[in-house]
């Protein structure tokens, strides 16, 4: 499996990081070794002093596809989830300033949290539902899929132009505003509407 991540898909997050609004989806990949193992804490890596949480809606691909038309994209997933794209922001900034790829800041071991999965039919509208992240019981990120620049089916169409999608692949669809630094002993919990999708501790 592969983790296909979308950057800059929410306008307010683009503003908070002072990035340029893209004309096409920004794509990067994480290996399966980036997945944080179930019931394990997230350990802040020793190569970063500024690791940020980024809560994201996830989509699990359920069939093989290439050059998928948007009108057929809904057939390629049944489950929606929630996760975290951990980012070593200091390392990312250094790499970006040099014009270098920034996978080291995004794809390190444990940098991808994948929570439980919901049948998409449990959601009234996949293009209009609330999701949030609590840090130590305080809501730090609050998003709605209606605010995506590119909706889920559009992302599947776009991504499949470049990468064959395979069963079990996961798409991270981008993060809303409110990203911030994690510290040891933080507790992070993610929600779709009012349902808890994951809960992890930081070490």
pLDDT digit string, tens, across residues 182-192:
999 999 999 99
Encode pLDDT of 110-119 as tens digits: 999 999 999 9
Q: Is the pTM of this model over 0.75?
A: yes
In this prediction, residues 49-56 reach a mean pLDDT of 98
CA dihedral 21, 25, 29, 30 (to 10 degrees): 70
pLDDT of 14 strictly over 70:
no
What's the pLDDT score for residue 20? 72
Q: What mean pLDDT is predicted for residues 160-166?
A: 98
110 contacts 149 by C-beta, under 8 angstroms: no
* Sign of the four-CA dihedral 121, 28, 3, 189: negative
d(CA 74, CA 12): 27
């Amino acid at each position: 499996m592969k983790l296909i991540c979308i950057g800059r898909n929410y306008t307010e997050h683009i503003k908070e990081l002072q990035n340029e609004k893209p004309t096409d989806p920004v794509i990067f990949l994480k290996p399966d070794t980036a997945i944080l193992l179930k019931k394990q804490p997230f350990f802040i890596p020793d190569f970063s002093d500024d690791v940020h949480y980024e809560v994201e809606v996830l989509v699990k691909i359920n069939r093989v596809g290439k050059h998928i038309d948007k009108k057929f994209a809904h057939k390629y997933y049944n489950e929606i989830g929630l996760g975290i794209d951990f980012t070593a922001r200091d390392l990312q900034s250094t790499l970006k300033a040099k014009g270098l790829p920034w996978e080291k800041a995004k794809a390190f071991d444990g940098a991808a949290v994948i929570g439980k999965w919901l049948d998409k039919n449990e959601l009234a509208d996949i293009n209009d539902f609330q999701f949030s992240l609590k840090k130590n019981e305080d809501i730090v990120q609050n998003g709605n899929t209606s605010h995506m620049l590119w909706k889920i089916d559009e992302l599947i169409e776009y991504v499949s132009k470049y990468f064959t999608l395979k069963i079990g692949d996961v798409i991270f669809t981008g993060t809303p505003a409110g990203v911030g630094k994690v510290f040891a002993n933080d507790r992070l919990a993610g929600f779709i509407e009012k349902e808890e999708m994951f809960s992890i501790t930081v070490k």
